[in-house]
Amino acid sequence: MSDNKEKVLETATKLFAELGFEKTSMALICKEAKVSKGLVYHHFESKKSILIEIFTSSTHKMIESNVNINDTIEPKGELKQLINNVFYQLENDKLFFQFNLNIMFQPSTRSLLEAHIKERADILFKSVKRIFDKISLDRSEILTYTLLAEIDGIALNYLSVFDDYPLQMIKAELLNKYNKIKK
Amino acid sequence: MSDNKEKVLETATKLFAELGFEKTSMALICKEAKVSKGLVYHHFESKKSILIEIFTSSTHKMIESNVNINDTIEPKGELKQLINNVFYQLENDKLFFQFNLNIMFQPSTRSLLEAHIKERADILFKSVKRIFDKISLDRSEILTYTLLAEIDGIALNYLSVFDDYPLQMIKAELLNKYNKIKK
Amino acid sequence: MSDNKEKVLETATKLFAELGFEKTSMALICKEAKVSKGLVYHHFESKKSILIEIFTSSTHKMIESNVNINDTIEPKGELKQLINNVFYQLENDKLFFQFNLNIMFQPSTRSLLEAHIKERADILFKSVKRIFDKISLDRSEILTYTLLAEIDGIALNYLSVFDDYPLQMIKAELLNKYNKIKK
Amino acid sequence: MSDNKEKVLETATKLFAELGFEKTSMALICKEAKVSKGLVYHHFESKKSILIEIFTSSTHKMIESNVNINDTIEPKGELKQLINNVFYQLENDKLFFQFNLNIMFQPSTRSLLEAHIKERADILFKSVKRIFDKISLDRSEILTYTLLAEIDGIALNYLSVFDDYPLQMIKAELLNKYNKIKK
DNA sequence: GATGAATGAGATTTCATTCAT
DNA sequence: GATGAATGAAATCTCATTCAT
């Protein structure tokens, strides 16, 4: 990928996260990325297509990072690793989570990405359920839904509700809960 | 409040929830509410001030509905009532939750409502913590954060992630969890 | 005149002088004068007619104040009195001069008041020329034009050009000049 | 500068002078300059910034034209040249003077240009005072203020008060006055 | 005399996109 | 690949004026 295209994607990701998709103008992206409008439209069909490219490529990164979870170890260890991963990202890539939250809940962007969002949710669901399947086939579905809700809820409250969210305490609580889980 | 002002607020609430704040034009609000632009600007200073009025009045409604939780009964009963309330609203007022999610995560609207959002979160936090205080003063804070995260995460997944979310099953799981809670 | 009508005229004069005619909205006049729009339109046909009423009534006041110049005294004394009058007003009613300057040079208001402005200029010219006629019939016209230009130029520079205009020095210079004038 | 930007500036200057700043709509500028609204906002940040650009560039032109006054000749000759210059411009660029008068006295435009107006006044004052300094260091300040007031007053009366202003006669009077001035 | 809700035309400004170079 | 002038539709907002009460 050309340097300039990459630059545009990075700039757009940052601006979409900070200002929201609607409030980020193509002119601003061009200015911040230090390229011309003509060039952006040479690389991307439209503003929407920039968003779609960002979203899908972030899905790929997410899948790759999940692949790294060692599935040879015992399920409780996998859960621990998964939870640690999530909290690590939550602390170190706030902007990325914010970006995802705002494009998912903004109806205009949401509808653009509907299929991609479903696809990503499906991948995530399956990769978590695979772990719980080893613990309890009967309850794996409900456990998966619960853990995903817990993670999303924590992210939401951490990023957008409370100023002084006790993230470490919540993390410990969650690790403890899933460490006690019975086969 | 005059009929027309009320009409504008209702129409705007519906449109903000369905289309998002940015994508809802004043022209559309006027058209749907069947009033002139001039009238809307006679009653409201700006588009933003419509949003603020909707948000703060919904906070007031939320507080009133919480007041109805009977605090003379034992804490577990209160929790049950709280959870039932939330799930009832989740099923019966999807639009309202969607509205809240998208204005909270859209940076432009978020910043407008920052103070009001914090205030609402604070009220909610205190009203839930009051219940957990009766169960365990030591753990009431972490329990409150956890329950709020669970509720938000469930709402988020139900409304915006999964098409076929097993809401009843999740509700049962949650009720069961908090029924088993030990003093 | 009703108290409220008077209040509207006063408020409008002040606002027109401070903000300019175009930038003063009827809504603002109503708010500042603490009356309703309906009432203003009961007393005045339009915003323009408020302006016209203010202008013509100020012309009447100006004529009255000129009448006070004692034409029995010798012409140099009259000139002295006239100059003193002008400088007194200049220092004590800046807002009024500002109002006049901006409506005279704003094409939109200017055209509204064209006839009234000419009329006032004519009255002023005649009342000054009457004095110079006693000094020199030959040169009275040019002397009148010159004095009027001097006065307007001083007002303009004092009110709108220089921050630290030496008004007293200029006044002394002018008094001196016309004291030396020869029959 | 692109042809179209220049076209917009010229059109705006003419319209601001004829109609006033407030009454000149961007739509009209676009129509008269035969360009789109988008283009105007591509070249200028706002309507106000068009005004500022016009004003400052006219200050530059004024400075350049003043530079042409030959300061090697004797001071009375310089004064004669200055007065001739002013009257020449007054007769040949009425629109420009009108433009300046109305933006200086319209409070909304005045405040925009406050700093630029002061700057220009300062330049003018200094360039006139430089001449009078050669005649009388003691009286150069008062003489400068007087001449500037005379010029502004004449311009004002010529352009905006009297229909049949005897400009030539006034000019002769002024030339005569400053020709008699004593060292 | 007095109110203020209501209108609608028109103002400034924004912005995704196109296109000649 | 790269530029940036140019477009035009649509956005938010303003405001003099009207009118039912």
- What's the mean per-residue pLDDT of chain A? 93
CATH superfamily of C51-179: Tetracycline Repressor, domain 2 (1.10.357.10)
Phi, psi for residue C75 in degrees, rounded to 5: -55, -40
> Does position A73 have pLDDT exceeding 90, yes or no?
no
Residues 6+ apart with CB under 8 A from D80: D175, D178, D179
Confidence (pLDDT) at C72? 73
Please give the Cα distance from A75 to C112 (Å, whole number): 87
Going from N- to C-terminal start, the domains of chain A cover 51-179
Distance from CA of D34 to the nearest CA of C (A): 24
| Percentage of residues of chain C with pLDDT beyond 90 | 81
Decide: residue D144, CB within 10 A, 0-12 exposed, 13-18 middle, 19+ buried: buried
The tokens of A131 are what? Answer: 């772990």
Of D92, D12, D94, D1, nearest to D52 by C-alpha is: D12
CA angle C144-C147-C152, nearest 5°?
120
> Alpha helix (H) ranges present in C106-180?
107-135, 140-160, 167-179
Q: Best interface-test mutation with C: which of D22, D99, D175, D182 has the largest number of C CBs within 10 A?
A: D22
Check residue A179 and give its pLDDT.
95
Q: Give chain D's count of helices (H) and strands (E).
A: 9, 0
Q: C128 CB near a chain D CB, below 8 Å? A: no
pLDDT in tens, B75-84: 899 999 999 9
Are C160 and D107 within 8 A, CB to CB? no
- What is the band of C130 on the pLDDT scale with cuts at 50, 70, 90? very high
The two three-digit tokens of residue A148, written as one number: 């995903």
> Which residues of chain B are under the pLDDT cut of 70?
1, 66-71, 183
Helix (H) or strand (E) holding D48: helix D47-67
pLDDT tier, A63 (very low <50, low <70, confident <90, very high otherwise): confident
Give the Cα separation of D82 and A95 in Å (integer): 65
A38 shares contact with chain B (CB less than 8 Å): no
B157 and A145 Cβ atoms separated by less than 8 Å: yes
Q: What integer pLDDT is reported at residue B71 of this predicted model?
A: 65
Q: Judge whether residue A166 has pLDDT over 90.
A: yes
Residue A123 has pLDDT above 70, yes or no: yes
Task: Give the nearest partner residue to D105 out of C142, C157, C160, using CB atoms.
Answer: C160
Chain E footprint positions (protein CB, under 7 Å) = 1-20
Cα separation of B96 and B54, whole Å? 11
Any CB–CB contact under 8 A between D119 and chain C? no
What is the structure's pLDDT at C69?
65
Q: Which tokens in the block code for residue A87? A: 């909290």
Interacting residues of B161 by C-beta distance below 8 A, sequence separation 6+: A104, A117, A121, A148, A152
Confidence of residue A71 (pLDDT cuts 50, 70, 90): low
Question: Tens digit of pLDDT for each residue in A135-155?
Answer: 999 999 999 999 999 999 999
- Half-sphere exposure in the Cβ direction for C91 (13 Å, CA): 11
